[in-house]
Structure 1
């Protein structure tokens, strides 16, 4: 079975293409959004909503937002063990895989996983590694805006139109410009910011709340409560002109009123960062805002009114509706999975994509009477339709030179030191004292993200191909094998107990937030749950869970309204 996965910074989703349409697969709680949070509790791995609640009451026991560390060596400690971002992401993917198998009643082996369009090669390799650790064969990585447009594109098989996909998720921002015509979906340009998302808006608002109350926004004990209040206020402002924040934090009572205008002022630096990727994508597509036929907003963060207003103002139109912004990427990934599997329901759909970054080599330039190395020579420009093969000719610097060393880079900076180093290739050339030896360098880049580099010495016909050396932050085969063993050794919390675990974690988080008479009240709720668990009456337990969740909803609503 081939499935599509939206591996998000804040939430993840999984979908399958059946009966000619993509459909979302629920988790054990009956929800399609699974928080991208993992925790170790009592020696057991906890994933999703329960892990998010644990993160609020005991942040040292949980890890979140690790998607931003993909492709780096950063480690997170859980249960006395260090994990890197691909390993933590594999825990999310493994849980999604289990949900799909329980829902579909058959094994799931193949997956298309979405990635931010602006993820570089190293980050994409980390996502592939996460899939392998989770026991998935990752058949394709699909850019998130492209996946979202594909979900919409199923309904647009007639006529022509230019679409701009404005994708602001929890941790990343992407822009893609696409053209649809007669079942063909062509990506014209992509741009983005891999470190800008809804979580940054929450962080900015949490700092504002703390500073207004003369609290330290960096206090580790206060941060969970401040971030929760900020998230609640941010969501409230999506549907109301103002939000009132009342809570006990840091030994004092907070009573603040936040308006949309003030929220926009607090997050102005973040809103300003939306402009550069948007301008670059339009420029690369050679289009003006007025030439965009439709604006598609994707990602939960686009529910924020300042973001919606900014996008509408810049594109001079209201966004189209019809697909939930949280769900579009997963639905599109399922469509791509069906395309890879050659589903008969998609015989008339064709999709092309582009390279998000420029690919090239380092070269030397003469300044005065000396050669200076370290300059970037593009071979495949960003936003070139893939698959693609491009070739350029280069020569030795000095007559008599017997070796050419090519550094392979990805990026947009003129100096290679500011770009991502992908690998190195060295080729031997004849000693020629009379003239410079010439070589042709060919880059071939496909839709799966595979880059092949071939160098041909023109005078001899000798060829050499790129063998990419180990990149800093990339997991080796030995590390992936070790991670697989770590995953198998972890005790996974039973899926059938997920509802009880989630409720208990939520009660613990409420107890940590509460003060004064509220704490005995929460303790009473915990005792009621434990008594019901001891009685083992499924019907009574189901009724109690609904009652306790409703009580907690009212408790949390008292903090932001």
Structure 2
């Protein structure tokens, strides 16, 4: 029986399985552990996921979409290749691609699947993640917060007890969690974050600098050129993590642009983003009632934490160098696999106990009298954010009108006093005997479990009339709509694994042809024609060798160049 963990990321996604007492990550069709979270539709109407889709985005940005994790749980849709998708459906296609990678290497039946999500995802976003799994045909009972997954992965490596802060900066989201490890127990003390801050925002700033250096307005560029600049900015960002200054040169519509950017110039442009990183850290420390000096280690998670400005900020704020002995791109996936083994009670991890928290305050809509005699609607908290789960808490409420026959309790998630600024996750209603305002008292109890399910019970004290409802992390769509979307998505066939690398190479060759000039164009065209012919030649048995040779051929034309001054 296979125990599966999946890191469903904004920029890249990974899948792993628990084998021989530990997590093992599974490579995709290209031999990489990282599958770009990009979906495209080619000119024949076929859906492509991963590296091939990322290449297609460079030649036809209208045919591909990325960073859709940022709009999980919203009504936003995007049209690519005459097909319209929600973020849940795009995520489902990524999940299907990852599962095909697993099934290509294993015939085991699946026992447990755990998927990671940002700690600061609200109830709506978590339901959307479960919905994505459902649309991919997967049975998933548990999500794990990304920093919690990282803690599990490091926890098996770090033998000493202590207090740890996990800073998780991915492509599109930022999470902070504080954990106390003692006697094999992993206790999450507090979490905070920003669902709209990630490495992509730093790349955007760098792309704007690069455009300005070339006397161009980033906002006025075509969508295709913006995609090319941002792809170049991703590479330049990596280069500037290793050198103080780097040159860039790459093709854009109408010619080639070049220039140089210093690390100090890049960091100056990102000062406000760095300030945004500090606030969730400070909030998590306050909620956990921990002084920075009490932390034993800082753990960095996510590829964007490789930037020197992040590591320098951490060293400056906490007076110690961060802990980075596990690849920050892989640590969440490894932790998700370990959580799957914990859930299945695998003997290899049976001595590990994990406690988690409720990342947002949960409360009910109520009313209160103002000094001017007017009544205003507010949210009364019942379970406060960062409470250790499972947890059960209750509050008493009274009727507010004469002869009231029922009381409705809307249930909210969030930190704002005003109901309209929080996420409403449901409502429960209970009948009460008629009488003067304030006579009837209703006790409302919230019980929140480790799987994110909230049970709400309302009991009328005078007659013990009771109503109970459970708000679980299930799809936000009704069954009919969910079945319709599942059927439509099931009809979409992903390119077979052995064709994904072909598609990626062909898309790359088409991009290089569009960027090239003069004789190089003809050479690339001839090479692409030869590659097509070899793919169709049934006498050729070793297509891996054909692909490897074509990749080497394309490498000589990839003109993106970095040079250190």
TM-score bin, normalised by smaller chain: over 0.9
* Structure 1 runs not aligned, ≥5 long: none
- Residues 390-401 of structure 1 mapped to structure 2, 5 A cutoff: 390-401=393-404
2:166 is aligned to 165
- Residues 446 and 454 in structure 2, CA contact (< 8 A), matched pair in contact too: yes
Query: 1:240-263 CA deviation, whole Å, 9 max, x = no partner?
Result: 222211123242442211111111
Match of 1:122 among 116, 121, 124: 124
SS for the counterpart of 2:562 is coil
Query: How far apart are residue 3 of structure 1 and its match?
Result: 0.4
2:327 is aligned to 324
Query: How far apart are residue 518 of structure 1 and its match?
Result: 4.1
Instruction: Please say if 1:40 is aligned against 2:36.
Output: no
1:488 is aligned to 490
Query: How far apart are residue 106 of structure 1 and its match?
Result: 2.4
Query: 1:374-432 CA deviation, whole Å, 9 max, x = no partner?
Result: 21211100000011111111112244433322111111111111111111222221122
Q: 1:455 to 1:528 in 2, by over 3 A?
A: same
Pairs aligned (count): 559
SS for the counterpart of 1:93 is helix
2:254 is aligned to 251
Query: How far apart are residue 105 of structure 1 and its match?
Result: 2.1
Query: How far apart are residue 366 of structure 1 and its match?
Result: 1.0
2:177 is aligned to 176
- Residues 83-102 of structure 1 mapped to structure 2, 5 A cutoff: 83-102=85-104
Query: How far apart are residue 270 of structure 1 and its match?
Result: 1.3
Q: 1:525 to 1:228 in 2, by over 3 A?
A: farther
Question: Aligned equivalents of 1:27 and 1:470: distance in 2?
Answer: 29
Question: Aligned equivalents of 2:523 and 2:272: distance in 1?
Answer: 42
Q: 1:374 to 1:462 in 2, by over 3 A?
A: same
Give the superposed CA RMSD. 2.1
Instruction: Please say if 1:200 is aligned against 2:185.
Output: no
- Residues 212-291 of structure 1 mapped to structure 2, 5 A cutoff: 212-218=213-219, 219-291=222-294
SS for the counterpart of 1:210 is helix
2:444 is aligned to 441
Q: 1:434 to 1:294 in 2, by over 3 A?
A: closer
Instruction: Please say if 1:51 is aligned against 2:53.
Output: yes
Q: 1:401 to 1:370 in 2, by over 3 A?
A: farther
Which range moves more in the overlay, 326-335 or 250-259? 250-259
TM-score by length of 2: 0.95
SS for the counterpart of 1:310 is helix
Instruction: Please say if 1:305 is aligned against 2:305.
Output: no
1:65 is aligned to 67
Question: Aligned equivalents of 2:265 and 2:277: distance in 1?
Answer: 19
Q: 1:117 to 1:154 in 2, by over 3 A?
A: same
1:149 is aligned to 151
Q: 1:13 to 1:538 in 2, by over 3 A?
A: farther
Question: Aligned equivalents of 2:520 and 2:284: distance in 1?
Answer: 51
Q: 1:512 to 1:406 in 2, by over 3 A?
A: farther
- Residues 177 and 284 in structure 2, CA contact (< 8 A), matched pair in contact too: yes
Instruction: Please say if 1:513 is aligned against 2:525.
Output: no
Q: 1:12 to 1:460 in 2, by over 3 A?
A: same
Which range moves more in the overlay, 336-345 or 97-106? 97-106
Query: How far apart are residue 371 of structure 1 and its match?
Result: 3.9
Query: 1:156-212 CA deviation, whole Å, 9 max, x = no partner?
Result: 34x421111100001100000001111110000000001111111111211221233
- Residues 359 and 380 in structure 1, CA contact (< 8 A), matched pair in contact too: yes
Question: Aligned equivalents of 2:236 and 2:245: distance in 1?
Answer: 9
Which range moves more in the overlay, 61-70 or 351-360? 61-70
Which range moves more in the overlay, 475-484 or 337-346? 475-484
Question: Aligned equivalents of 2:454 and 2:511: distance in 1?
Answer: 47
Question: Aligned equivalents of 1:321 and 1:468: distance in 2?
Answer: 38
Question: Aligned equivalents of 1:112 and 1:248: distance in 2?
Answer: 42
Query: How far apart are residue 515 of structure 1 and its match?
Result: 4.3
1:349 is aligned to 352
Query: How far apart are residue 302 of structure 1 and its match?
Result: 0.7
Question: Aligned equivalents of 1:90 and 1:310: distance in 2?
Answer: 36
Question: Aligned equivalents of 1:312 and 1:89: distance in 2?
Answer: 35
Match of 1:110 among 109, 112, 122: 112
Question: Aligned equivalents of 1:541 and 1:279: distance in 2?
Answer: 54
Q: 1:369 to 1:460 in 2, by over 3 A?
A: farther
- Residues 403 and 428 in structure 1, CA contact (< 8 A), matched pair in contact too: yes
SS for the counterpart of 2:31 is coil
- Residues 74 and 85 in structure 1, CA contact (< 8 A), matched pair in contact too: yes
Query: 1:35-88 CA deviation, whole Å, 9 max, x = no partner?
Result: 111112222221111111111111111121111111011112133121111111
SS for the counterpart of 2:141 is strand
Question: Aligned equivalents of 1:110 and 1:179: distance in 2?
Answer: 27
Which range moves more in the overlay, 70-79 or 521-530? 521-530
Query: How far apart are residue 538 of structure 1 and its match?
Result: 4.7
Q: 1:552 to 1:202 in 2, by over 3 A?
A: farther
Which range moves more in the overlay, 243-252 or 484-493? 243-252
* Structure 2 runs not aligned, ≥5 long: none
Q: 1:481 to 1:544 in 2, by over 3 A?
A: same
- Residues 424 and 468 in structure 1, CA contact (< 8 A), matched pair in contact too: no
SS for the counterpart of 1:325 is coil
Question: Aligned equivalents of 2:557 and 2:272: distance in 1?
Answer: 33
Query: 1:487-530 CA deviation, whole Å, 9 max, x = no partner?
Result: 22113211122222221122122233334554334323312322
2:140 is aligned to 138
- Residues 97 and 108 in structure 1, CA contact (< 8 A), matched pair in contact too: no
